[in-house]
Amino acid sequence: MMRRWPYLARSALVAASVAAFAVGGHFVATTAIDTQQAKQLEELANIALRRSEVAVDFSVATLNDVMQRGPMTCDAASLQAVRLKVYQRSQVKDIRLVNREGSVICSAYSETLEFDNEWVTRPRMLQTADHSLLLFRVDQINGVALGVLKDIDARTSLVAILGVSAILFDILPTELRDHGEVIAQLDNGADIGRFAASQVLDATDAVTFSSASHRYPLRALVRVAPDALRRWNRDRYWPSMLLAAVLGLAFGLLLTRAVARLEGPIADIDRALARHEFKPYFQPTFDLRTGAIGGCEVLARWVHRDGSVTSPMNFIPLAESSGRIEAITWQILALALKEMRPRLAADKYFKMSVNITPRHLLSDAFVNRLRREVRESGVSARQIVIEVTEREAFPDLEKAAAVIEALREHGFKVALDDVGVGHSGLSQIKRLGVNTMKIDKFFVDTIVQDGSAATIVEMLVRLAAKLRMNVIAEGIETVEQRQALLRCGVECGQGYLVSPPLPYAKFDEFLVAYEARIEAEAVVRQASVA
Ligand code: C2E
Ligand code: CA
Ligand code: CA
């Protein structure tokens, strides 16, 4: 009965799960690595900036040193003393004396003046936050440098020429050094130092990280070629992907199990529906006094292809919860109507009961579909009894009463099943307005030994009489039970004492033989009375 769901489908589900986890893993791993890289490169830009700031501080210290010696003049001795200072401070390349406009008056290394491509005037120099210095770019033939200007008095100032490029060269990690650059800039965008890759970097698609100074009009940029970035620090990528794939595999396997468990029995029901494996069995109802059979109850059976039979208790609950009960009911009813039609037509008093779940009873169009099925089978609605169990509470009692009323208006009979063990109190039984009460087997089982069971049955019989309802007792197995029920006033019953539920052919055979026997017994009884 348990169906294998195809190996291919299972493999596909596992593969899909691994793929989904791998895609997720890829995103998580790359995002984590990208974030980590961005943090590292921002930190490098910070380091470049801090070094540039320190270089400026350093040049200010040098200028202060020079000034402490006494005013710098352009005479040979003074310039020589300044040259000594410059010589001691490797990043300071030159110190110059400038006038108010910023034009050079003299330089410690006067030869270097020839290297200048451009010397900006004071208005184009940038002020530091504390107004103590002016910074500007010095464009020279052999590269760029930073000019740091500090005023001596109202007419003259000192300028330190600072080489910034040299302090930027070891910032980038070796893997990125050939594919990136570190730049120190003034706030106006003028480069004042640069460590550039040996390969030319395409600035338009380079990834840039920057850090700006609070003290000086300075910023540092780190630029890296995107593909170099993609290769850098990827050691965590493959382990993450492996972990994702393993998780995906585990999830996929769990999922296939869950799906197999869920899908299996429901798919079995669907296949059985398609193959018409749900069949009606018939159990007679009989007059407890005379034994005469006045009808039957249709009970569902799942007859498998190998001939084995599954009892309704083993598939009705799942059929109900999975929404298959209605299809099963209609399949069984159609066959039951077809098989029973000749007998129902021959005996207009013969009744056939069918079990309908409360939810099906309350579903839209139930009454219309029932009428159509019964009409099309050529059976009279008056011979059909709808049995509704009261084991579960009705989701909507008012609606149930309305549907029952509609059924009765169309000629159907309605029986309340399993009375005494379910939810309905006596007032609800009354409210539902059914024709018949089926007393549960539970009371029949105990009626011989247990006085209280007999009391309850008597009470139900009295109530039924008051409500003009019939009573049927289910599950009668012994003659003693039958006698006890008769003493309680029950007149009609059903049970193995007469017959178990049978498939139609056997049921028909049984009825023919049984009726012949009852008739013979009646003849004997009459003869003995006479
Ligand atoms: P139910 O409607 O109360 O049916 C009576 C149950 O008692 C049947 O069990 C019947 O075979 C069994 N029975 C009858 N006489 C005796 C007896 O003397 N001794 C014993 N031990 N049992 C007896 P079954 O056929 O296994 O059905 C069980 C339940 O499954 C039914 O209880 C009903 O609630 C449900 N069911 C059966 N067929 C259908 C159906 O077509 N549709 C729906 N919705 N439910 C069904
Ligand atoms: Ca029933
Ligand atoms: Ca029952």
- Whether residue 405 is predicted with pLDDT greater than 80 in this model: the reply is yes
- Whether residue 164 is predicted with pLDDT greater than 80 in this model: the reply is yes
Q: What is the DSSP secondary-structure string of 77-135?
A: HHHHHHHHHHHHSTTEEEEEEE-TT--EEEETTGGGGGGEEE---GGGSEEPTTSS-EE
Three-class SS of residue 399? helix
Cβ of 300 closer than 6 Å to ligand 1, yes or no, is: yes
pLDDT tens sequence across 35-61:
888 898 899 999 999 999 999 999 999
Read off the pLDDT of each residue in 410-427 and give the average, rounded to a whole number.
Answer: 85
pLDDT at res. 525: 86
Cβ of 416 closer than 6 Å to ligand 1, yes or no, is: no
Handedness of CA 432, 436, 441, 444 (dihedral sign): positive
Lowest mean pLDDT among 167-171, 367-371, 401-405, 516-520: 167-171
Residues 268 and 2: beta-carbon distance below 8 Å: yes
pLDDT at res. 261: 65
- Whether residue 413 is predicted with pLDDT greater than 50 in this model: the reply is yes
| Spacing, Cα 509 to ligand 2 middle (Å) | 23
| Spacing, Cα 400 to ligand 3 middle (Å) | 20
- Whether residue 512 is predicted with pLDDT greater than 50 in this model: the reply is yes
In whole angstroms, what is the distance from residue 33 CA to residue 40 CA?
Answer: 10
| Spacing, Cα 356 to ligand 2 middle (Å) | 8
Cβ of 316 closer than 6 Å to ligand 1, yes or no, is: yes
Read off the pLDDT of each residue in 135-152 and give the average, rounded to a whole number.
Answer: 92
- Pick the atom of ligand 1 nearest to 391's CA: 34
Cβ of 299 closer than 6 Å to ligand 1, yes or no, is: yes
- Whether residue 439 is predicted with pLDDT greater than 90 in this model: the reply is yes
Per-chain residues with Cβ under 5 A from ion ligand 3 = 418, 440, 474
pLDDT at res. 262: 65
| Spacing, Cα 417 to ligand 3 middle (Å) | 6
In whole angstroms, what is the distance from residue 311 CA to residue 1 CA?
Answer: 13
pLDDT at res. 3: 47
| pTM, entire model | 0.59
Lowest mean pLDDT among 29-43, 255-269, 509-523: 255-269
Whose structure tokens read 């033939």? 141
In whole angstroms, what is the distance from residue 359 CA to residue 319 CA?
Answer: 12
Mutate to test the pocket of ligand 1, among 283, 311, 355, 436 (most ligand atoms within 8 A of CB): 355
In whole angstroms, what is the distance from residue 313 CA to residue 309 CA?
Answer: 12
Cβ of 217 closer than 6 Å to ligand 1, yes or no, is: no
| Spacing, Cα 280 to ligand 3 middle (Å) | 17
Cβ of 501 closer than 6 Å to ligand 1, yes or no, is: yes
**Which band of pLDDT confidence, cut at 50, 70 and 90, is reported for residue 213?**
very high
pLDDT tens sequence across 458-474:
999 999 999 999 999 99
The most confident of the ranges 6-10, 194-198, 275-279 is: 275-279
**Which band of pLDDT confidence, cut at 50, 70 and 90, is reported for residue 18?**
very high
Assign domain 272-518 one CATH number from 3.40.50.2300, 3.20.20.450, 3.40.50.2020, 3.40.640.10: 3.20.20.450
pLDDT at res. 4: 54
Cβ of 389 closer than 6 Å to ligand 1, yes or no, is: yes
pLDDT at res. 211: 94
pLDDT at res. 104: 93
Q: What is the number of alpha carbons within 13 Å of residue 276 lying toward its C-beta?
A: 7
**Which band of pLDDT confidence, cut at 50, 70 and 90, is reported for residue 5?**
low
Cβ of 311 closer than 6 Å to ligand 1, yes or no, is: yes
- Whether residue 19 is predicted with pLDDT greater than 60 in this model: the reply is yes
Of residues 125 and 88, more confidence is placed in 125
| Spacing, Cα 352 to ligand 2 middle (Å) | 11
Residues 286 and 340: beta-carbon distance below 8 Å: no
Residue 411: count other Cβ atoms within 10 Å of its Cβ: 13
- What's at 411, amino acid-wise? G
Closest by CA position to 198, among listed 221, 181, 212, 210: 181
Cβ of 475 closer than 6 Å to ligand 1, yes or no, is: yes
In whole angstroms, what is the distance from residue 523 CA to residue 526 CA?
Answer: 5
pLDDT at res. 9: 82
Listed by start position, the domains of the chain span 12-262, 272-518
Q: Is 458 left (phi over 0), alpha (psi -120 to 50) or beta?
A: alpha
Read off the pLDDT of each residue in 485-508 and give the average, rounded to a whole number.
Answer: 98
Q: What is the DSSP secondary-structure string of 229-263?
A: HHHTT-TTHHHHHHHHHHHHHHHHHHHHHHHHHHH
Mutate to test the pocket of ligand 1, among 285, 299, 320, 498 (most ligand atoms within 8 A of CB): 299
Of residues 26 and 501, more confidence is placed in 501
In whole angstroms, what is the distance from residue 407 CA to residue 387 CA?
Answer: 12
pLDDT tens sequence across 260-317:
766 688 889 999 999 999 999 999 999 999 999 999 999 999 999 999 999 999 999 9
pLDDT at res. 89: 78
| Spacing, Cα 91 to ligand 2 middle (Å) | 103
Distances (CA, A) of 27 to 32, 241, 253: 8, 10, 23
Burial of 87 (0-12, 13-18, 19+ CB in 10 A): exposed
Residues 224 and 206: beta-carbon distance below 8 Å: yes
User: CA triplet 80, 163, 168: central angle to 5 degrees?
Assistant: 150
Read off the pLDDT of each residue in 235-259 and give the average, rounded to a whole number.
Answer: 88
Mean pLDDT over the full length of the chain = 91
User: Which ligand approaches the C-alpha of residue 283 most closely?
Assistant: 1
Cβ of 355 closer than 6 Å to ligand 1, yes or no, is: yes
The most confident of the ranges 15-24, 97-106, 189-198, 408-417 is: 408-417
Residues 193 and 216: beta-carbon distance below 8 Å: no
DSSP type of residue 288: T
In whole angstroms, what is the distance from residue 95 CA to residue 108 CA?
Answer: 6
Read off the pLDDT of each residue in 180-191 and give the average, rounded to a whole number.
Answer: 92
Read off the pLDDT of each residue in 436-449 and give the average, rounded to a whole number.
Answer: 93
pLDDT at res. 1: 41
β-pairing, 207-212 vs 218-224, is antiparallel
In whole angstroms, what is the distance from residue 30 CA to residue 24 CA?
Answer: 10
**Which band of pLDDT confidence, cut at 50, 70 and 90, is reported for residue 123?**
very high
